[in-house]
Structure 1
Amino acid sequence: MGTGHKIRVGLVYGGRSGEHEVSLQTALAVLKAFDYDKYELIPFYITKEGRWRSGPLLEASPAAVAELQFEPRAADPEEAPASDSSLLPLMQGMSERALAAGGESGGIGSVDVVFPLLHGTFGEDGTIQGLFEMANLPYVGAGVLASSVGMDKAAMKTMFAAAGLPQVGYRFFTRFNWNKEREAILDGIEEGIGYPSFVKPANLGSSVGISKARNREELIAAVEEALRYDRKVIVEQFVDAREIEVAVLGNDEPRASVAGEIVSSNEFYDYKAKYIDGKSAMIIPADIAEETSLSVREMAVRAFLAIDGTGLCRADFFMRRSDGALFINEVNTMPGFTPFSMYPLLWQETGVSYRELLDTLIELAIARHAEKQLIDYGG
């Protein structure tokens, strides 16, 4: 890119998942925080039905955001439908940009890097990342593998186990397994996990569908509830533990933030406690021993590398109250990203501002894309 060229960033937000509104909050915060001396921004909104709409080019100042119709209404039937078919020019413009380094930006779809701000299904599960990969587009955050593993808790736990990361006891099974061998599954959970236990859909964000089971009757009901949201279910051993979180940033040489602690208003950290009632406290840095802090940060980096992470993730841990033992719980490859979310706050406490975080994520995305251009795909 020539001197003086502003990096044109396509912000993709909204989406078909149940976390659509959370995505809108994230995108609005990011739009307001970007350095408009460095960047031009094009909003790409995905409706709850999966339709793409492009917004105006934002290049002057964040004040323009106030005038942006943030959740675009349906297009006027008499208007040309271009704003509702923005996916094609986005893909074409980005692909051409990647193949013609240094060329001037063309239409609204011609951007230098995509910043997906999509939470949950169809956003952080590898699907849209695959779309960007097929179009050879630079994009912020985890790739296809890390995104899909980060969403599928069963696959995630399998990879953590292979990396030697400590975890609480767990079992997972599919709807087919449940319907075919229910009694054997229940017996195995009672013998290997015990009560109380937590039952979760394997693929869903924001802790929707999680239940606590204290006996067989509750366990059956919890499994049936989880199967409403996914075909695969995880049952986890209960531990009386503190919840410790660490932010990770980087590609091949990731670094970890200070550790933080979540003190939930609820029995466990569910969707309500995260986003709605505002009663959960985020304690940063966590009040833990220095040795424990170093251990949990090292484990966060190991977890990030275990799933082949890139860009960012938040790693969540249990710290057992009885003896201080640490267990990896999960990683989130598109964590909450408003200035008041845990991930940016952890980095703020570590010495990296919100705006610096945005700059770094853009740089990491462009660097990873440049490296991928070295791969010979046999074409």
Structure 2
Amino acid sequence: MKTKLYVLYGGKSVEHEVSLKTAYTVMLSIDESKYDLFPIYITREGIWSTPDKLSRSKLELSDLIAVPRHAEAAESIGQSLISQFALPGRKVVLPLLHGSNGEDGTIQGMMELLNIPYVGNGVLSSAVTLDKAISKQLLAQAGINQAKYLAYRYDQWAEDRAFILEEAEMKLGYPCYVKPASLGSSIGISRCSDKQQLTAGIAEAFKYDSKLVLESEVLGREIQVAVMGNEKPLASLPGEFIHKHLFFDFESKYMDKHLTMSIPAQLSEELTGRIRKIAIQAYQVHGCSGLARVDCFLDHEGHLYVNEINALPGFTNYSMYPVMWERTDGTLYSELVEKLIDYAFTRHAEKQTIHYTR
């Protein structure tokens, strides 16, 4: 009997469109001789719905968007659990939900309660990797080098804006970056060169989150490493995007037709080894399992700074994560998805050995 593969995508998140693109690419790669595919689309309002029978030979991105059959999220989730997840046989969930309500431990907690294997990071690692403020605290405690940063909640900003602006100028200087604490795809991020831009950038970031992170700028290259595995993770060869953008924002990442990948990145053998080692260290510090992408800055003096850990990196054909693995050891896209599913089953089996009674 084939394994039932439940693909969750869309989601109540500003990264909704990114999730759709990831799901589209993944679904086209699935080996139908091994898996029965059960796509579940989650609307921007959080309502779960199932698209009509999909034809992979004629699949369009728009086909993935299903019309909700329920008015409330809770009712739709309950119906999905009854009609989809209650089916007998071996099953696994592939959550392709970028950002909030999917990459932050919420959907992972639900799968834990249902005791269903799922691909990717667990509840804790999902939550701490998405929250940049907490992630930076973990990196600091582990002694991993990173850019200078400050973190604030909205209530702190509302109470004393002047203090925060002054502290940012004194401790970080200009230019600096403002980021929503729990968001990806460079949404809500601003590069600020003076107090006026900083004030506007903070207001923009607080549209998407109640907490933000300010960071000093590191001049140099941004190097990425793909990591996968559970207790003994593997790191890919480093890669980087070649571009001329001063700030690599959402439009630069997803709209620039001239964007090119350099994989492996042009680095010395010693530096390549050091970056891969640090990537694995950062992965383990966050308790990651399954997969993650570790992003680093390399300045002009050769100093390395870990920027952030992305627990659900982009997974389209033009995303860095799958291409890095293909260039590292020849792993094809479809093979990579199967490896990640295998990691999910392994982790789930190990959890079944834990005792919950004495």
Amino acid in the other structure paired with 1:87: I
Which whole-Å CA distance do the structure 1 matches of 2:57 and 2:344 have between them? 26
Identity rate of aligned residues, in percent?
Answer: 43
Q: Is 1:348 aligned to residue 342 of structure 2? A: no
Amino acid in the other structure paired with 1:224: A
Amino acid in the other structure paired with 1:163: A
Q: Root-mean-square deviation (CA), in Å? A: 2.3
Which whole-Å CA distance do the structure 1 matches of 2:143 and 2:348 have between them? 30
Task: Pick the aligned partner of 1:188 from 167, 170, 179.
Answer: 167
Which aligned pairs between 1:15-94 and structure 2 lie closer than 5 A? 15-55=11-51, 62-63=56-57, 65=59, 69-75=63-69, 87-88=77-78, 90-91=80-81
Task: Pick the aligned partner of 1:247 from 204, 214, 226.
Answer: 226
Segments of 5+ residues of structure 1 without an aligned counterpart are 97-104
Amino acid in the other structure paired with 2:37: L
Counterpart contact for 2:144–2:306, Cα < 8 Å: yes
> 2:270: which partner in 1?
291
> 1:159: which partner in 2?
138
Segments of 5+ residues of structure 2 without an aligned counterpart are none
Q: Secondary structure at the match of 1:345?
A: helix
Which whole-Å CA distance do the structure 2 matches of 1:264 and 1:150 have between them? 26
Which aligned pairs between 1:1-379 and structure 2 lie closer than 5 A? 5-55=1-51, 62-63=56-57, 65=59, 69-75=63-69, 87-88=77-78, 90-91=80-81, 105-106=87-88, 112-321=91-300, 323-351=301-329, 352-378=331-357
Deviations 1:19-71 (A, max 9, x none): 2122111111111111111111111111122111124677xx84374699321
Deviations 1:297-350 (A, max 9, x none): 1111111111110100011000002x1111000011111101221000000101
Q: CA deviation at 1:215?
A: 2.0
User: Which structure is larger by alpha-carbon Rg, 1 or 2?
Assistant: 1
Amino acid in the other structure paired with 1:325: H
Which whole-Å CA distance do the structure 1 matches of 2:243 and 2:144 have between them? 25
Change in CA separation of 1:175 and 1:345 when aligned onto 2, cut-off 3 Å? same
Which whole-Å CA distance do the structure 1 matches of 2:155 and 2:266 have between them? 44
Counterpart contact for 2:9–2:96, Cα < 8 Å: yes
Which whole-Å CA distance do the structure 2 matches of 1:85 and 1:67 have between them? 26
Q: CA deviation at 1:246?
A: 0.3
Q: CA deviation at 1:86?
A: 5.5
Amino acid in the other structure paired with 2:36: E
Which whole-Å CA distance do the structure 2 matches of 1:161 and 1:9 have between them? 38
Change in CA separation of 1:90 and 1:74 when aligned onto 2, cut-off 3 Å? closer
